[in-house]
Structure 1
Amino acid sequence: MTSKESKDDASLGDQDAVDVLEAESKEFDKDAEIDRILKAFRLDAYSVLDLQPGVPESDIKLTYRKKSLLIHPDKTKNPLAPEAFDRLKKAQTELMDEKHRERLDEAIADARMLLIRENKWTVDSPELKTDDFSKKWRDKTREVLIENELRRKRQLKAQMQEEGREQRKAEQEIEDRKRKRQHEQDWESTRDQRIDSWRQFQKSKSGGGDGEKKKKKKLKPIG
């Protein structure tokens, strides 16, 4: 083997090592992002996508594209990738839905105002610019979102119960009308029979009366 060949082999070995390190680094980044997504508060789509509230739709689309390519289940061996990918997709869908995003933005704004009121601050207070406030704001946002979700579920449950009552009422009305129609049909089907029975009754009654009169005439004393 010549010295040139030895150098080439060494270069290939070094390149292989670099490739392995890069692959491991990329896999580490994928694992870290999957872990972050799964630990993010799922009711806060901004948190799942690691975005700040108020970003434009273009940022949402770009961020989703980058992260979805990074953690796509086909591009990583991490068994949790499918779950993380689904959560990422759900978060992106929610933020692209105008009404859902408005509700989320409103909850985040409510959390900020609640913190200001609870601490008797003003919108110009210096405390609002600290990292401590940012953390408290995230925690308060979590509380507000949980309360909103519980309220939504209670309303949904009440709505379903009301719909159930209305459904049972409608079914009962249908059953009542069905029984009424059946009764009318039964009554009509026996009409001729009832008429014949009535005629027989009247005929027997009439015949019994004549026999009684004749009997009475025979028993009438003479002169």
Structure 2
Amino acid sequence: MSTVDSVLKQTSGDVAREAEVERIVRAFKLNPYDILDLPIFAEDSVVKKTYRKKSLLIHPDKFKHERGDEAFDLLKKAEGQLLDKSKREEIDGIMTYARTLVLKSVLGTGYSLGVTNDDIRLVNLKPPFEAQIRTQAKELFVEDELSKRRRTKLAHANEGEERARQEAEVANRKRKKEDQAKWEENREERVGNWRNFRSVTEVKKAKKAKKNMNVLG
């Protein structure tokens, strides 16, 4: 291979890597199928193979790009989501519902869950059937994400209220304990004051009684 051919090959490879990085960072972040550029409902083996191929293509150690780390992280996260059973079920549930909505929209009364993607009524759609599913899914993913954020916000608010209530109870118990301690500390002083008051009162009564006896006598 000549030097020119080698340079052209290297340049072509860099162009492909840059294009892939930019595709990933522009992809719809809530849909891992979009990030990995996979067909809907791709099997695990296809997910792994695609991830391996793309991760080697854009790996930050092999290709430097200002958003290379971001793209690589997005790719890894997308693979993890599709290989996690519970997350995959959630994602595929959204994709299935999106497909159902598109079928209803396109076929109307001819809609049926048994309709396959190669049905003549779906093959020549503009935009293509799968593209319409992805567009519909995007709305569902956004709605689902907003719902999750609202639930999280509400949970945090409830946690905050519960934490404030518990802190108030702790503060109230502490205040009562401190008041009780002060009450105990001042017990002798209160008893002494009471004794002094009684003593003074009794002296006054005795003087008054003596005075009255002198008046009568």
TM-score by length of 2: 0.89
In the alignment, which residue of structure 1 is the partner of 2:146?
150
In the alignment, which residue of structure 2 is the partner of 1:103?
90
Percent identity (aligned): 35
CA RMSD of aligned residues (A): 1.7
In structure 2, what residue type is equivalent to 1:145? Answer: F
Does 2:59 correspond to 1:65? no
In the alignment, which residue of structure 2 is the partner of 1:211?
207
Equivalent of residue 141 in structure 1, options 122, 137, 142: 137
The structural deviation recorded for 1:182 is 0.9
- The structure with the larger Rg is 1
Equivalent of residue 197 in structure 1, options 193, 198, 202: 193
The structural deviation recorded for 1:213 is 1.5
Aligned length: 208
In the alignment, which residue of structure 1 is the partner of 2:161?
165
For residue 52 of structure 1, give the secondary structure of its aligned residue in structure 2: coil
In the alignment, which residue of structure 1 is the partner of 2:19?
32
The structural deviation recorded for 1:156 is 1.0
Kindly provide the CA deviation profile for residues 110-145 of structure 1, in whole angstroms up to 9, marking residues without a partner as x. Answer: 111122233424123643344522221111011111
The structural deviation recorded for 1:97 is 2.0
In structure 2, what residue type is equivalent to 1:128? Answer: L
In structure 2, what residue type is equivalent to 1:53? Answer: I
Q: Distance in 2 between matches of 1:172 and 1:199?
A: 39
Q: Distance in 1 between matches of 2:34 and 2:4?
A: 36
In the alignment, which residue of structure 2 is the partner of 1:17?
4
The answer (yes or no) to whether the contact 1:64–1:88 under 8 Å persists in 2 is yes
Unaligned runs of 5+ in 2: none
Q: Distance in 2 between matches of 1:126 and 1:150?
A: 36
Does 2:116 correspond to 1:127? no
Does 2:62 correspond to 1:75? yes
For residue 76 of structure 1, give the secondary structure of its aligned residue in structure 2: coil
The answer (yes or no) to whether the contact 1:127–1:133 under 8 Å persists in 2 is no
Does 2:170 correspond to 1:174? yes
